Homo-oligomer: A and B are copies of this chain.
Amino acid sequence: MLTYDISKKGKMSAYQYLYHLIKNDILDGKLLSDEKLPSKRSFANHLGISVVTVMNAYEHLLSEGYIYTIPRKGYFVVPIRTQRKTDFKDIRPQPEKEVRPDFDFSGNRLNGGKFPFSVWSRLMRKVLLDYENQLLEPLPYNGAEILREAICKYLYHNSGMNVSPQQIIIGAGTEYLYTLIIQLVGKDKIFALENPGYNKISKIYGMNNVKTEFVQVDKKGLNAGDLRNSKADVVHISPSHHYPTGVVMPVDRRNEILNWADEKNGYIIEDDYDSEFRGAQRTNTLFSTDKNERVIYLNTFSKTIAPSMRISYLILPSHLLERYRERLNFLSCTVPSFEQYTLAYFINEGYFERHITRMKKYYNQCKNKVKEIIENSVVRDKIEIVENMSGLHFIMKINTEKSDDEVVSLLNKEGIGVKFLSQYIHTAGGSYQHRMIINYAGFNIKHLENALEKLNNII
């Protein structure tokens, strides 16, 4: 009879251990197909364990299909067809190394040290006390009501936007929300994207297999004539601040694009990702100007609070809200309740507004300081600073015979990161050479002069 030493079971229960031993013998082929197992009673006697223990082990093997039973005959080993091992290249996962440059002219980082972290953590503790177990309750698909209300109040007072909390959909980052928008307006639509523009945006549209067309950005933002000549039904723009050119779309261009959407029955996706940090006062959003429900508004707290804060939101016009409720409300909200409540407190108690005000001032100081250093540095005669009333970056034209690619690769060799406007161009058209993007928001100013010297040696 099968013999096992159950005393070696360690921390396992006797039945678990027995189950394991038998299973392994089946898998190793020590117990053959259709071989009969000992009867429960005699096996229990043989091993010095209880009948119940053997029964539990058999039941478990039975439920997993390792053995089968024939009434009044007993238990038998199932003929196991094991998976054949086919040939394939054995690629063990390699750890990735993220190479971070010593200094980055165009890095996407923010200065985390300026965030009122002690306030945030106090509010987190308050949320823990106030909500307790409720934190574990599932949230509505569109996010916590308290947060949607807080956002509405904030927008009303700071952007003159008058929207209802019902119109807001909270989601884990703009990238995720792009995919919801595509679902909402339809995958069969053609999407116009800004050229130059964020590579990530076109990647996400590409990932979702929707057709896109690039439309040129001129000095007033996306060219409305070109948009009219395109096949697009939907346009994705950042009118309050275009990246990377920094263009702020003037009101006449905005109206042209709104008129286009009306005539076409199309949609405008208004990506307002860092409008809070515009130098001067904020412009009216397209969403507020729109009278015909053509605009979908999109914003995020990743830029205003922290990149690790994955909270973004959509504001939908009424008929799209109805459509969202019909088609997409089966999707659970992707942001944890805890973060939503904390952010709601942060906005409602006025900390968010104060933080924005403080950061605008701070970033303005950074900009002036960075400009001053550049304008007094060794490269001063080979550059020109082009500034719009833009968010957290400006453009620095450089005078060089070298191509942008060459400059990038030579600077990278020196441990310096940089991006040029030309790297954001998707299709030919427009002259964008020699325009460096200076993202001063996350600068370590101490290393700037050194980096400028290296740049000077290269150009």
A272 on the B face (CB < 8 A) = no
Q: Given the known inter-chain contacts A83-B292, A128-B124, A166-B95, please indicate yes or no for A251 contacting B209, CB distance below 8 A.
A: no
Q: What's the tally of chain A residues with a CB closer than 8 Å to chain B?
A: 105
Q: Given the known inter-chain contacts A255-B81, A319-B89, please indicate yes or no for A200 contacting B310, CB distance below 8 A.
A: no
Q: CB distance A251 to B132 under 8 Å? A: no
Residues of chain A in range 14-41 having any CB-CB distance to chain B below 8 Å: 16, 19
Alpha-carbon gap, A389 to B64, bound state (A): 10
A332 on the B face (CB < 8 A) = yes
Q: CB distance B251 to A80 under 8 Å? A: yes
Closest 5 CB pairs of A and B: A65-B250, A136-B306, A138-B307, A172-B334, A93-B166
Q: CB distance B280 to A63 under 8 Å? A: yes
A interface secondary structure, majority:
loop
- Residues on B with C-beta less than 8 A from A90 are 318
- Residues on B with C-beta less than 8 A from A305 are 136
Q: Mark A71-96, 1 if CB is under 8 A from B, else 0.
A: 00000001111111110111111111
Q: Would you give the shortest CB distance from A458 to chain B, in whole angstroms?
A: 28
A176 nearest CB neighbor, chain B only: B334
Alpha-carbon gap, A142 to B259, bound state (A): 42
From A173, A209, A310, residue with most partner B Cβ within 10 Å: A310
Q: CB distance A121 to B113 under 8 Å? A: no
Alpha-carbon gap, A94 to B325, bound state (A): 11
- Residues on B with C-beta less than 8 A from A255 are 80-83
Question: Out of B289, B309, B310, B325, which one reaches A83, CB within 8 Å?
Answer: B289
Q: CB distance B292 to A88 under 8 Å? A: yes
Alpha-carbon gap, A209 to B79, bound state (A): 40
Q: Which of A2-10, A227-235, A335-343, A400-408 contacts B (4 or more CB under 8 A)?
A: A335-343
From A78, A140, A175, A251, residue with most partner B Cβ within 10 Å: A251
Known: A81-B256, A136-B307. 7 other contacts (CB 8 A): A64-B250, A80-B255, A88-B292, A92-B318, A125-B128, A135-B308, A310-B333
